[in-house]
């Protein structure tokens, strides 16, 4: 089996070779943790965004959209707590000179304990087969219990220390656990320090009158400051939501995992405004609903798990991540946070304006509580892309690389291929494109033997290849080849639209939620 590291390298090089993702400004050797989406990447990204938007905005009567500006009044970030508390605890290794997030080093250590426990569970499962009772095993097996309780104790202590700003104890924990620099194996660490992640910029022409601004580190605040504008102009009744997709910027300390952790990235966020006291009910609702959205894409149930936060952010009274099994292990894909009335109250306080809702049923004013769902578009891209990229050995012993993207997200839905570049076949192929392009993104390819063209479309994730041959001239039929099964059917040209539609229509995929 290929090593995780090799799989990941393969993902990065496939993304570049097939026009999905390029390093930013590559002619100047790139810019660390900044990437450009290429001709196929931009389509896949757009489709993921649309799939999210439809599920959140179009399918919910009480959720509307917003597109707030990236630049916001600087007091926004004072009120939100980002100026004072949007920090990562960082630690340097004195020998390797590498910089790490102290909390990530500890979390990785704790995850290894979890993996050891899982190994014991898997071994027992294999030994006892059908009769295996996992619940009982986990609560009675001494080794599993020890691993789990050690893991819990470590995470709880880290959460407590970070909460109390006790950075000396975070360092002590790293030393007690004998965590070594993953690069050099050295345990020679500096103190732990806090580092603010916001990018600063300036508004205005002259140096003395310019105003210090920040590039937004999350899209959420654009929603909070517009809460009352949207509520009033849209005559929204609590509970209701505001959804937004857009760029966010963070000066990440550790930015090494391709598009997993970028300095400029895109978020898809939804803030759901509820009555105080009802937030936990809605928090549970959105946890479940968001997981269903992920599962509807069919990447596999075993690829997701919830991780309830031990350490809550300054604004939350409950929080969980939906973690995904990336090529480098389970990591956060989406956050679901019960943010209480923290943000709206803070903006009231700093702006001096009321941000309250008059509830006609209760006949009272209040600041609504907020449940937020926040997923990184680039992380979604990576999850979908990495899982879909597969090397297959075929029945005849040959192999192929295939990008088994969920068809609804595929950049190109069908490639139209004339068998040869003559005899009127390209003309028919172009006619088919002229019909299909009203409904789908389709492409044309006449270069190389048809087998090679199939392989190229497999690597691009195109769900269908439609081949025009000499028989087409006689009976208006073509072959349609399915990417995943490689099965080919002979069908009439008039049937193509329905066949493609049935596999790629967003409606059919969203109905699986």
| CB 217, min distance to ligand GAP, A | 7
* 260 labeled part of a ligand binding site: yes
In the complex with ligand GAP, the residue whose CB is nearer, 57 or 504, is 57
Tokens 């190994």, located at residue: 119
* 332 labeled part of a ligand binding site: yes
| CB 294, min distance to ligand GAP, A | 12
DSSP H or E run through 168: helix 167-176
Closest CB to ligand GAP belongs to which residue? Answer: 376
* 373 labeled part of a ligand binding site: yes
127-161 core/surface letters (b: 16 or more CB in 10 A; e: else): eeeeeeeeeebeeebeebeebbebbeebbebbbeb
Give the whole-angstrom CA distance, residue 138 versus residue 135: 5
Q: Are 148 and 115 in contact (CB under 8 A)?
A: no
| CB 379, min distance to ligand GAP, A | 4
In the complex with ligand GAP, the residue whose CB is nearer, 44 or 220, is 220
Q: What tokens appear for 339 in the block?
A: 């943010």
In the complex with ligand GAP, the residue whose CB is nearer, 278 or 332, is 332
Give the whole-angstrom CA distance, residue 94 versus residue 83: 29
In the complex with ligand GAP, the residue whose CB is nearer, 307 or 482, is 307
* 193 labeled part of a ligand binding site: no
DSSP H or E run through 121: helix 102-128
In the complex with ligand GAP, the residue whose CB is nearer, 46 or 307, is 307
Burial of 226 (0-12, 13-18, 19+ CB in 10 A): middle
* 252 labeled part of a ligand binding site: yes
| CB 143, min distance to ligand GAP, A | 32
Residues lying near ligand GAP in the complex (CB under 6 A) are found at 218, 220, 250, 252, 261-262, 265, 267, 269, 332-335, 372, 374-376, 378-379
In the complex with ligand GAP, the residue whose CB is nearer, 111 or 332, is 332
| CB 267, min distance to ligand GAP, A | 5
Pick from 3, 37, 7, 55: nearest CA to 408: 55
* 65 labeled part of a ligand binding site: no
CA 494 remoteness from chain centre: 38
* 439 labeled part of a ligand binding site: no
Which residues pair with residue 265 across a beta bridge?
Answer: 248
In the complex with ligand GAP, the residue whose CB is nearer, 299 or 419, is 299
Q: How many residues does the chain have?
A: 513
Q: What tokens appear for 200 in the block?
A: 């600063």
* 250 labeled part of a ligand binding site: yes
| CB 35, min distance to ligand GAP, A | 10
| CB 136, min distance to ligand GAP, A | 34
Q: Are 214 and 81 in contact (CB under 8 A)?
A: no
Give the whole-angstrom CA distance, residue 351 versus residue 254: 35
Which residues carry a binding-site annotation for substrate? Answer: 101, 218, 265-269, 372-376
Which residues carry a binding-site annotation for ATP? Answer: 250-252, 260-265, 332-333, 376-379
Which residues carry a binding-site annotation? Answer: 101, 218, 250-252, 260-269, 332-333, 372-379
């Amino acid at each position: 089996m290929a090593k995780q590291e090799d799989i990941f390298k393969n993902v990065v090089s496939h993304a570049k070779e097939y026009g999905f993702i390029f390093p930013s400004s590559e002619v100047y050797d790139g810019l660390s943790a900044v990437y450009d989406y290429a001709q196929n990447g931009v389509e896949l990204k757009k489709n993921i965004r649309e799939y999210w938007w439809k599920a959140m905005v179009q399918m919910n009567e009480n959720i509307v959209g917003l597109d707030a500006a990236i630049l916001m009044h600087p007091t926004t970030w004072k009120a939100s707590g980002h100026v004072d508390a949007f920090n990562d605890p960082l630690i340097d290794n004195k020998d390797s000179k590498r910089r790490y997030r102290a909390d990530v080093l500890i979390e990785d250590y704790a995850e290894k304990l979890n993996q050891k426990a899982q190994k014991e569970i898997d071994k027992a499962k294999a030994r006892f087969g059908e009769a295996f009772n996992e619940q009982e095993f986990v609560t009675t097996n001494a080794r599993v219990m020890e691993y789990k309780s050690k893991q819990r104790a470590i995470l709880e202590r880290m959460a407590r220390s970070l909460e109390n700003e006790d950075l000396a104890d975070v360092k002590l924990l790293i030393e007690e656990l004998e965590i070594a620099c993953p690069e050099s194996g050295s345990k020679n660490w500096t103190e732990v320090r806090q580092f603010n992640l916001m990018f600063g910029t300036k508004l205005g022409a002259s140096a003395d009158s310019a105003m210090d601004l920040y590039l937004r580190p999350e899209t959420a605040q654009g929603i909070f400051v517009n809460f009352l504008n949207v509520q009033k102009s849209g005559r929204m009744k609590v509970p209701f939501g505001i959804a937004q997709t857009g760029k966010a910027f963070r000066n990440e300390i550790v930015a090494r995992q391709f598009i997993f952790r970028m300095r400029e990235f895109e978020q898809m966020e939804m803030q759901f405004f509820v009555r105080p006291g009802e937030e936990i009910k809605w928090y549970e609702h959105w946890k479940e609903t968001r997981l269903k959205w992920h599962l509807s894409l069919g990447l596999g149930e075993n690829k997701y798990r919830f991780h309830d936060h031990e350490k809550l952010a300054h604004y939350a009274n409950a929080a969980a991540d939906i973690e995904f099994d990336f090529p480098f292990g389970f990591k956060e894909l989406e956050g679901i946070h019960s943010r209480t009335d923290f943000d709206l109250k803070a903006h009231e306080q700093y702006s001096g304006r009321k941000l309250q809702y008059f509830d006609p049923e209760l006949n009272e004013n209040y600041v609504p509580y907020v449940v937020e769902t926040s997923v990184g578009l680039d992380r979604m891209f990576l999850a979908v892309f990495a899982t879909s990229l597969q090397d297959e050995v075929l029945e005849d012993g040959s192999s192929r690389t295939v990008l088994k993207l969920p068809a609804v997200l595929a950049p190109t839905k069908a490639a139209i291929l004339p068998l040869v570049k003559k005899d009127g076949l390209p003309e028919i192929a172009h006619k088919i494109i002229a019909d299909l392009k009203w409904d789908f993104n389709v492409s044309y390819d006449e270069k190389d033997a048809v087998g090679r063209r199939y392989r190229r479309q497999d690597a691009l994730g195109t769900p269908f290849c439609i081949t025009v041959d000499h028989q087409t001239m006689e009976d208006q039929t073509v072959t349609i080849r399915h990417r995943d099964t490689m099965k080919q059917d002979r069908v009439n040209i008039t049937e193509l639209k329905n066949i493609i539609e049935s596999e790629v229509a967003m409606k059919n995929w969203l109905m699986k939620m």
